[in-house]
Amino acid sequence: MTTANVYQQRPGDDVKAETPLHHANLPSLFGKGRNNPGVTLRERKLLGHLTLRGEAHDSAFSGGVHKALGLELPVALGVVSQGELSLQWMGPDEWLLICPRGQEFALEQQLREALAGLHIQVVNVSGGQTLLELSGPSVRQVLMKSTSYDVHPDNFPVGKAVSTVFAKSQLIIRHMAEDTWELVIRRSFADYWWLWLQDASAEYGLAIAE
Amino acid sequence: MLQIFCPHCAELRSEEEFHASGQAHIPRPLDPAACTDEQWGTYMFFRDNPRGIHHELWIHAAGCRQYFNATRDTVTYEIFETYKIGEKPQVTAKPAGAVPEAAAREE
């Protein structure tokens, strides 16, 4: 029996929700910019983010996670995904689950049911962070300008995710497909990253996608 | 820039991702109420300041956010090893012809 206070934290669709980049009015920029942009930015807005903690070596834990999510627990610096659902290694006992908007409450309940009785933690952090997707042939150049971490494919293959120092602040870089990278950022830093990415990708051409 | 091996991420990472957190291997007294003022004060405030080999607590602050220990030469800043909390250090005296860990791993 858990005493965790589990409740639906997302208000209904009739309640106005502003994304972390609401003030930048990204929809007004859709379809503008160069014809062949080197970098395409997409705000993956208002997704569900859950932090999951538990004992990685406990087969009851890893089995329970697989039962609840259909995803295997990734090992160090890994991210696994299935459709819109992704599970990322954050530390030896911590993972980040990102799911489509509105599914986080159901997934949290599934996880708690499958992991009942174990020493675990599930926290909804959807309000605290957001996801930016960068795609295009010049994304790696933009990342190389911004971080000291080696983003060459030999060192950073698809399916790897690292939390690192980026442009004097800190975020998570995820390599999801050959030319597709994701940045998991703090909500309060969204404007800073937006300004930084505009500046860093200006020379390659930046487009905003829906 | 220094490259430090994080034992949890299992790879070399840039020094700017880490913070040092002082001397390692300081056990908290099991029964603080039974300590004399001197014992508690020694535990609380007094730290070694050696010249040479020093075992230190570090945190991978911008990465996996885990603490780990490092054996470092306070004179040359060579880091000989990093190891998880609870493990014993392999290097306790300055090895002859010692090679810093980052250089050893790159070879």
Instruction: Measure A173 CA to nearest chain B CA, in Å.
Output: 11
According to the model, what pLDDT value does residue B100 have? Answer: 62
Higher pLDDT, A12 or B102: A12
Whether residue A92 is found in the same domain as residue A138: no
pLDDT at residue B93 above 90? no
Whether residue A165 is found in the same domain as residue A119: no
Would you place residue B102 in the very low, low, confident or very high pLDDT band (cuts 50, 70, 90)? low
Q: Looking at chain B, which residue has its C-alpha nearest residue A88? A: B64
Would you place residue B103 in the very low, low, confident or very high pLDDT band (cuts 50, 70, 90)? low
Verify whether the Cβ–Cβ distance B64 to A148 is below 8 Å. Answer: no
Domain containing residue A72 = 48-125
According to the model, what pLDDT value does residue A61 have? Answer: 96
Whether residue A40 is found in the same domain as residue A141: yes
Whether residue A90 is found in the same domain as residue A144: no
Structural domain total, chain B:
1
Verify whether the Cβ–Cβ distance B1 to A164 is below 8 Å. Answer: no
A129 touches chain B (CB under 8 A): no
Structural domain total, chain A:
2
Is A2 part of a structural domain of the chain? no
Is A68 part of a structural domain of the chain? yes
Query: Rounded distance, CA B60 to CA B82, Å?
Result: 12
DSSP E strand stretches across chain B: 3-6, 11-14, 19-23, 53-59, 67-73, 79-84
Comparing CB atoms, the residue among B8, B14, B64 nearest residue A165 is B14
Whether residue A68 is found in the same domain as residue A136: no
Query: Rounded distance, CA B79 to CA A125, Å?
Result: 36
Whether residue A97 is found in the same domain as residue A164: no
Query: Rounded distance, CA A79 to CA B31, Å?
Result: 43
A90 touches chain B (CB under 8 A): yes
Verify whether the Cβ–Cβ distance A91 to B66 is below 8 Å. Answer: yes
Whether residue A133 is found in the same domain as residue A205: yes
Whether residue A184 is found in the same domain as residue A115: no
According to the model, what pLDDT value does residue A165 have? Answer: 96
Residues of chain A with pLDDT under 70: 1
According to the model, what pLDDT value does residue B97 have? Answer: 63
| Segment (H or E) for A39 | strand A39-44
Q: What is the pLDDT of residues B33-44, one digit of tens each?
A: 999 999 999 999
Q: What is the pLDDT of residues B7-65, one digit of tens each?
A: 999 999 999 999 999 999 999 999 999 999 999 999 999 999 999 999 999 999 999 99
According to the model, what pLDDT value does residue B98 have? Answer: 61
CATH number at residue B85: 3.30.2270.10
